Amino acid sequence: MSPSMSEPLPQRLRQQLAARLAKPRRLFVTPGGSEFEAWCRGAPGTAVELIVSARALHELVCEPGLPLADLDAVQAYAQQQFAHYFGAAAQRFAIAPWQVGDAAGASALHGLDLAALRAQADAARVHLAAIRPAWAAWLASLPAATRAGSGRAVWHEGDVAVVIQLDRGRVIGLQSRRVNTLADLGAEAPLAIGTPDADFAPQPGPATPRPDFLPRDHRSPLAWPLAVTGVLVLATAAWSAVDSHRALDMAQAARDRVAQLRTTAAKPQARRQVAAPAENRSAAEARALLGMPWEPLLTRVETAGADAKTIAWLGLDASAGRGELRLEGLTPDKLLALQLAEQLGTTPGWGQVVLSRFSAAETGLIGQRFEITARVKTGGGS
């Protein structure tokens, strides 16, 4: 049995929930992925965005004018091109397409095993938030004025350089080159030079390519995290109740042994009477959570957030016993958060919907953090 499977199930569930809700940290990985292996050993219950070295990638920019309607079309075209240049080996490549306006391209992952990375993350209860090429993550971290310019931006790793050709912010060229020094790239001064010790925190500004090697999910980007959060809240609550039962059973047995050594059972009896309400409360909360109408509740949140378009959800907490719900998210505009609260307030079964907190987002997050609290009707009433 693996060490992770030998841990108590409630602990594993809590770590999985913590990983889903954690703010992703960024980790630079080289071919082979030893850095991620070390991360998984030391950080269960965390979330991570992998920044992939140029040494593990092949790059492609599509010719202008090709009839590539969406990312699926870009990926299919890229697979054909990589197969043409690299033969049978290209069948093992994971492909991450990107499309910004009329520009499109793709990265191919050849120095890391995507399936192995995902399995490693699952086993360690680490949430893989994204797997992105280093050049793309770095480009998104540049100031808006730099990203909007024309010229070359250079991602540099020792004897490898990725030259990104920009035309008024559009990526029109992308080439990996072997170099001894940056002077090998020519006399033209680059707009910016990036290295593996870059910050990678995304900055506001013109859209940039965002290739991601994780499989794309065609469902709403809001529905998936909310649904998973809801399920994990239920699972954690249920197993917390199981933990409570077990702890109470052990405490009861200890009290009984003490009672046998004492001349009176009055005090142990009093403690047993106090323990019963705590057990009942945990079990009642778990049953109430399981009985909540999660599907319509999360669907309404998803719909309202989709209408707002720029809302990004961070988390959901629920107390079924009190019929309370708390939502956390990011928005570039306080007015959008207010409008969202008003929309939810008009939903049948929702009441006392309040924008309870609004503050600047933490470093690495873009926008303003907000919190909405509400009272909702559960299966047993409001």
Following DSSP, what letter does each residue of 209-236 receive, concatenated? -----SPP--S-TTHHHHHHHHHHHHHH
DSSP state of 265: -
Handedness of CA 354, 359, 361, 366 (dihedral sign): positive
Rounded CA-CA distance 179/162 in Å is: 10
Helix segments in the chain, DSSP class H = 3-6, 9-21, 34-42, 71-86, 114-124, 134-140, 144-147, 223-261, 266-291, 294-308, 334-345
Q: 3-state SS of 82-110?
A: HHHHHHHHHHHCEEEEEEECCEEEEEEEC
Comparing C-alpha atoms, which of 154, 247, 204 is closest to residue 364? Answer: 204
pLDDT by position in tens, the chain (length 382): 444 545 555 565 666 666 776 788 999 999 999 999 999 988 888 899 999 999 999 999 999 989 999 999 999 999 999 999 999 999 999 999 999 989 999 999 999 999 999 999 988 889 899 999 999 999 999 999 999 999 999 999 999 999 999 999 999 999 999 999 888 888 789 999 999 999 999 999 889 999 999 987 544 444 445 445 555 555 555 555 555 555 555 556 655 655 565 555 455 555 555 555 555 666 665 666 555 666 666 666 766 665 555 677 777 777 766 778 888 888 877 788 888 888 888 877 788 888 888 887 766 566 788 888 888 876 544 3
**What is the layout of strands, in order, in the sheet containing 151-157?**
170-178, 160-167, 151-157, 192-194
**Which tokens hold the place of 331?**
């928005």
Rounded CA-CA distance 377/20 in Å is: 26
**Which tokens hold the place of 369?**
């953090």
Contact partners, residue 156, CB within 8 Å, separation at least 6: 179, 182, 193, 194, 195
Rounded CA-CA distance 214/379 in Å is: 37
Rounded CA-CA distance 239/168 in Å is: 55
3-state secondary structure of 131: strand
Rounded CA-CA distance 39/267 in Å is: 50
Q: What is the pTM of this model?
A: 0.60
